[in-house]
Structure 1
Amino acid sequence: MKEYRLSVDPRILELLGPNLYTNIYYVLAELIANAYDADAKNVYIISNKDDIRVEDDGHGMSYEAGDIAKYLNVAGVSRTTEDESKTKSGSRRKMGRKGVGKLAALSVSENVDILTVADGEKSGFVLSRRPENGDELKAIEDEKIVFERIEDHGSAIIMRNPQYRLHQTLAPVKRNLLKIFPLVDANFRIHIIRGNKTVTIDAFDRSIMGELSTLITLGDKFAPLCDLVPDSYPARRPDLVAAEAKKVMSITMKANDGKEHEYTLEVLGWIGTYKTTRGRKAELTDFPDNFISLFANEKMGEFNILPVVGQNKLTEVYVVGQLHVDLFELTELPDMALSNRQGYKSDDPRYEAVREFVRNELLAEILRKRKTYTDIVNADKKRLKEEAQRNDEAKLRAAVDGFRKNASEEAANALAVLGVNASREAVKDVISRSINVHSPDLGLKAKVDSQKKKILISQTYPDKAFADIIYQMLVFNNVPPDDILYTNCDDEVCRVPEDRAVYDYLREFFVESYSTQKIFVLFVTSENTKASWGAITEVGASWITKIDHKIFNIHPFRPEHPLNDEMQWQSTNRTEPTNGDLWMIKLNADIFCQKIEAVCDSLDYKKKNRTQNMDHLGTLVSIRDRI
């Protein structure tokens, strides 16, 4: 009669079993890793009505050869030398190290059947959170040791009455497993089975690359992933997708022998950003799509370090990546994994080095690429919008010309019929009726007006700090950034589109057109204005076209004609003449808000009240009681 005894206080099972893992996919990853270490070529995850079964066609365990006794040595270190770091076949590096992964299934079920066969020798027992008679585990009779997918060699872990369940559809199961166990190929396949449905995972999920806008790969092994990213903007592809060499760092650590040695830490893998986050709402038990995972020896050690390395930037929600650092699992170095097997010790020098590299270099670089992508997309949208505007303007021009021609012809014909002696009132009546008939031709005017920029902030770059305050106050008063033309704005949507000449672009907003919508100009004037040809040009253009404008002036400069210098302007001070800090007295702060509100009234924006505007302005610039 075979006996199965745990070589550990059985209470550890009750304490650790239910708490060691908090997610069914972490559990499956541990069991899959065990199969990998057993040189399995196939793992079968079978979801039945009353159990979840994980079978593999690895070597299996022999009771007679002592394999099972070794298996039941919970927390027994399995890798102490480099030779022990290899699997029995010698072709794989072992993923397991602490020997607690076998407890993973106890997080799902109180009692787990362990079945195994090695060269025809069958063995089986029940791993339980509460073993009988102290450390004894219940044996399973040979005739009840039945496998669903394997025959002569392999193992099966059967989690009965599981606490967690897999998704009802197999696609999400595949997606989640690939996030935490990407090491699959023709030599190691995972089969997910429910009833008569089967999904096989035998390759990295390349579909994720098709969802990316940017990508950086580290190391030759991952460089081919670049070819899978869509080529949306061929001319700018080098700015969006890059295959880089692996990151190599030198690090000094104390090994298990107590001596310090210098090691080479290598980071390989990939990091990218999604085109969009739409449609990525996952179920509560799912792993999110937004993460940076760490792997060692192909096994996931920490699912997401993004909260640790990120800086809470909005664009970080687009980031996804998988990084591989095998030094984390070097046999001669201390084990750095947390006891729950779902992360690493934060004070380990290897973890600190990788964390700093990702935070300061890799994440910063991919976010720069993401910004480039966003700028390109916005520029493309603006170009299409401008083309539509020019087309609509041309249609409006043709409509007006047609209106004039038709109206005058019909008026002339009517006058000829009436005779030259027709009364003035009769002529006016005929023309009026003609205009009424053809007025629908002007229906495009509203559409053309709505597409044009509404506000131009005219300024010089040395006065950008003051122009930024005006811009922020406009946005605070519900003016859409897309309605503002501000050439030095930090928000790309307000700047002149890429590859457009500045003055050609501005000319479209100053020239008279058949559309009556003109741009409202907010002039930022200072001593710098006299030295800027561009600012002077804008002043002259606004005077010629009689465009409405407001003046925001920096003392001691005095605005002059052709600006409307008879109109009250807003005055702001600097602590130093050229580039000092800005400040204003309460009266001028009130005038500032008054002018912003007047612009909003003129263009039908829903403005804030004076108290709200004064309070917000006080957060942007120093407001003093007196000079």
Structure 2
Amino acid sequence: MIEKKYPLFISPQILELLGPSLYSNVYNVLAELIANAYDADAENVWLDFVDQSIDVEDDGSGMSYEEVTHKYLTVASESRKTLSDSYTPIFHRLKMGRKGIGKLAALSVSAKVKIMTVQNNDKSGFFLSRLVPEDGTLTPIPTQAITFNHVSGQNPHGTRIEMPNSDYDIPKRNGTIEKNLAKFFPQIEDNFKVHINLNGKESQLKPFLESVVQELDTLTIFDSSNRASYRQMAKEFELNNSTDFCKTFPAEKQAIKMQNKAKKRVSVNQEINGWIGTYRTTRNRKANQSDFPDNFIAIYSNDKLGKFNILQDAGINRISDVYLVGQFFVNSFENTLLPDMAMSNRQGYKIDDPRYKEMIAWAQNQVRFVSNLKKKVTDLKKAKKEKKKRADLLEEQRQIKENVSESLNIIQQASQESSKDQKPFLRQLDEQQLNRLSSAFTNIGTKKIKIDQSSASGRKVLISQTKADDRLNSVIYEMLLFNNFEPDEILYSTCVNAASRVPYGIHIYDYIREFFAQSALQHDLYVFYMDSDNTKCSRGVSVETGAGWVTQTKHFIIKAGKDAPQEPLDIRKPYSEIRFNHENNEIFCSEVAFSVFLQAINDVCSTFGKVPKTHDENTDYFTHSLECEIMDQSDFEAKVKDMEVASDGTKSTN
């Protein structure tokens, strides 16, 4: 009987399939090529951008003809198998490469790439193409045609890769290239420099820490080695910020049970170093958005970027996450003796690996800690700003009193004189007194306008509610934002967005009193009353309801509880019943109720000159983005009945 054999043949055409699709942008490609230079013990890497061509040259060890043919051109051959071959021979750097496919990165840029290398005056060169000849042999470059732009000397060594006719758009500014690549290579130092030449303009890659620390208002460092770069970062941070918001902790150490490459159960000692901070402001960041967002937490291993942003896994909410930035270093992710957890394109990790899970769980806690630290900074800034604002207001009031007193004194003196000679008192004023009087009245009018504008607070809409109904309250809030209201135009006391809360340092009842009084005097106000089972016994809601009744404020009622709304709310007008099931965090309403609610949205938009979204747009946002349900009346009534029966049963059981 003939023994069957099943040999596997990999076609060279794999390059045509993999080359263009491995990387999502040009910076990931450049990062792979720079990493190859780093592993070759290069001290300099030159990136030359001319028109639509990109050239990458380094002064690393280069390759002999034998190394080119037996190592470099072996695709997907693991470059790190033991601890001994995990370090470079000259600078003893931890090698970044592992999979043996980074050499294909250049094919993502160009269909045909020119590769040249020299070692001990032995020059080698060939064209790497997405379309490999059927015999698998690449087109060689004659020795005399192998040239370098930067590598020179009696014993030249290094590698040059030329990528003409780039499939990617060439960046327009050196600063854009520097900003993006700096996020890949935090280890830029004296013995590893990256030079950039963009159409004749030269620059050099600088450490990311140097630029970002100037923009932070909180900084938390995790370090057990007392790194000089982190000490310098903390020192520069404290020059512009309070030391209360600069925290230093030991590196996180985790013991993880898992299988190594030999399928043997081992204990891995995972250590996480790095830093996380918050930007002082996000203003103008969207306008200057580059290929990578400014808010990110990156993961590095062996000093190479492994995943640019873990906020999708470790973030807590979309509002506070926009301020976050950080870099964590986890070398166990590239441990040679452990399974390779990096994705094929080196742009992420396998999320089910136990090392990644442990890191993410820890990172989530740090994000919460730093977000709370950011809130303290924000509250402190607001308190200072509010204190100054009120001090300025008092000073303006004092000046008004002085101007009024001076004006009255001038008029009183003139009146006394006029009584003597029976002439109108204005005729008794000399030119100097007239000028002083005119100036005083002008100042009174100017200051009065300023005071009126500042005390009005700029709010337009109040959401009267209790924190127990925050899930439903946030739906109303998000619908207002969706219909073009700004956060600082809405007063929502338990909102996660500080712009919509009561200003820090002001008692809520004092603010509400001023809010209703000033609004009644100066401009319209609109209140959404959340009438639920929780609001019946809320003192805050009672105050807001009474204030609205006294000032005859326009309002809309949302029935969210079992009982019907009561006076002094205006129950003569239609209101909308939107129910919130606390047991499963579910919000639902009938089609009619939703239609009435949208009428209120249109009404409040009309009141303040806002352009509302269409009915279909609002419906889609309500149901899909906010995850609320709209149903016909009979289904709605049945669901309410079931919910209330279940609620009554729970109460009786308790």
2:211 corresponding residue in structure 1? 207
1:3 corresponding residue in structure 2? none
Distance in structure 2 (CA, Å) of the matches to 1:164 and 1:286: 12
Q: Is 1:128 the equivalent of 2:129?
A: yes
Q: How big is the shift at 1:15?
A: 0.8
Distance 1:153 1:128, change over 3 A: same
Q: Which moved more, 1:21-30 or 1:376-385?
A: 376-385
2:302 corresponding residue in structure 1? 297
Distance 1:455 1:282, change over 3 A: closer
Contact kept, 8 Å, 1:455 with 1:485, in 2: the verdict is no
Of 444, 447, 450, 1:447 maps to: 450
TM-score by length of 1: 0.74
Distance in structure 2 (CA, Å) of the matches to 1:582 and 1:453: 36
Between the aligned residues of both structures, percent identity stands at 36
SS at match of 1:280: coil
Contact kept, 8 Å, 1:383 with 1:497, in 2: the verdict is no
Distance 1:299 1:382, change over 3 A: same
2:42 corresponding residue in structure 1? 40
Residue pairs, 1:25-424, within 5 angstroms:
25-49=27-51, 51-64=53-66, 66-89=67-90, 91-151=92-152, 152-201=156-205, 203-219=207-223, 220-221=226-227, 223-224=230-231, 225-229=233-237, 231-234=239-242, 237-238=243-244, 240-281=245-286, 286-358=291-363, 360-418=364-422
Deviation string for 1:214-268 (max 9, x for gaps)? Answer: 121111336322222264453xx31x22122111111111111111111111111
Deviation string for 1:64-120 (max 9, x for gaps)? Answer: 4x4542111100011111111111336111110010000000001111111111111
1:600 corresponding residue in structure 2? none
Q: How big is the shift at 1:307?
A: 2.0
Distance 1:311 1:11, change over 3 A: same
Distance in structure 1 (CA, Å) of the matches to 2:419 and 2:47: 91
Distance 1:439 1:329, change over 3 A: closer
Distance in structure 1 (CA, Å) of the matches to 2:573 and 2:246: 46
SS at match of 1:352: helix
Structure 1: which 5+ residue stretches go unaligned?
1-6, 420-425, 457-461, 511-515, 540-548, 554-562, 576-580, 595-604, 609-615
Distance in structure 1 (CA, Å) of the matches to 2:313 and 2:166: 33
Residue pairs, 1:490-501, within 5 angstroms:
495=502, 497-498=504-505
SS at match of 2:325: strand
1:601 corresponding residue in structure 2? none
Contact kept, 8 Å, 1:294 with 1:322, in 2: the verdict is yes
Contact kept, 8 Å, 1:185 with 1:204, in 2: the verdict is no
Distance 1:126 1:354, change over 3 A: same
Contact kept, 8 Å, 1:400 with 1:441, in 2: the verdict is no
Distance in structure 2 (CA, Å) of the matches to 1:318 and 1:346: 24
Distance in structure 2 (CA, Å) of the matches to 1:51 and 1:119: 28
Distance 1:465 1:107, change over 3 A: closer
SS at match of 2:383: helix
Distance 1:466 1:76, change over 3 A: closer
Deviation string for 1:408-453 (max 9, x for gaps)? Answer: 222222122119xxxxxx899999xx99977545312232233226
Distance 1:397 1:336, change over 3 A: same
Q: Is 1:590 the equivalent of 2:570?
A: yes
Q: How big is the shift at 1:552?
A: 6.8
Contact kept, 8 Å, 1:112 with 1:128, in 2: the verdict is yes
Contact kept, 8 Å, 2:41 with 2:91, in 1: the verdict is no
Distance 1:120 1:363, change over 3 A: same
Distance in structure 2 (CA, Å) of the matches to 1:592 and 1:332: 75
Letter paired with 1:250: A
Distance in structure 2 (CA, Å) of the matches to 1:286 and 1:454: 38
Q: Is 1:551 the equivalent of 2:553?
A: no
Distance in structure 1 (CA, Å) of the matches to 2:166 and 2:490: 59
Contact kept, 8 Å, 1:274 with 1:319, in 2: the verdict is yes
SS at match of 2:570: helix
Q: How big is the shift at 1:166?
A: 2.9
Q: How big is the shift at 1:396?
A: 1.0
SS at match of 2:281: coil
Q: How big is the shift at 1:590?
A: 2.4
SS at match of 2:217: strand
Contact kept, 8 Å, 1:126 with 1:137, in 2: the verdict is yes
Distance in structure 2 (CA, Å) of the matches to 1:61 and 1:41: 16
Contact kept, 8 Å, 2:15 with 2:130, in 1: the verdict is yes
Distance in structure 2 (CA, Å) of the matches to 1:400 and 1:108: 75
Distance 1:59 1:392, change over 3 A: same
Contact kept, 8 Å, 1:18 with 1:108, in 2: the verdict is yes
Letter paired with 1:147: F
Letter paired with 1:256: K
Distance in structure 2 (CA, Å) of the matches to 1:68 and 1:51: 26
Q: How big is the shift at 1:279?
A: 2.6
Q: Which moved more, 1:206-215 or 1:446-455?
A: 446-455
Distance in structure 2 (CA, Å) of the matches to 1:593 and 1:212: 51
2:582 corresponding residue in structure 1? none
Deviation string for 1:47-79 (max 9, x for gaps)? Answer: 234631111111111114x45421111000111
Distance in structure 2 (CA, Å) of the matches to 1:196 and 1:484: 52
Contact kept, 8 Å, 2:316 with 2:367, in 1: the verdict is no
Contact kept, 8 Å, 1:454 with 1:484, in 2: the verdict is no
Distance in structure 1 (CA, Å) of the matches to 2:258 and 2:19: 33
Distance in structure 2 (CA, Å) of the matches to 1:478 and 1:410: 56
Distance in structure 2 (CA, Å) of the matches to 1:490 and 1:284: 25
Deviation string for 1:248-303 (max 9, x for gaps)? Answer: 11111111111111111111111112122223237887222121111110111111
Distance in structure 2 (CA, Å) of the matches to 1:125 and 1:282: 43
Distance in structure 2 (CA, Å) of the matches to 1:405 and 1:440: 16
Distance 1:31 1:509, change over 3 A: closer
Contact kept, 8 Å, 2:417 with 2:428, in 1: the verdict is no
Distance 1:282 1:59, change over 3 A: farther
Distance 1:455 1:281, change over 3 A: closer
1:423 corresponding residue in structure 2? none
Contact kept, 8 Å, 1:248 with 1:264, in 2: the verdict is yes
Q: How big is the shift at 1:388?
A: 1.2
Number of aligned positions between the proteins: 550
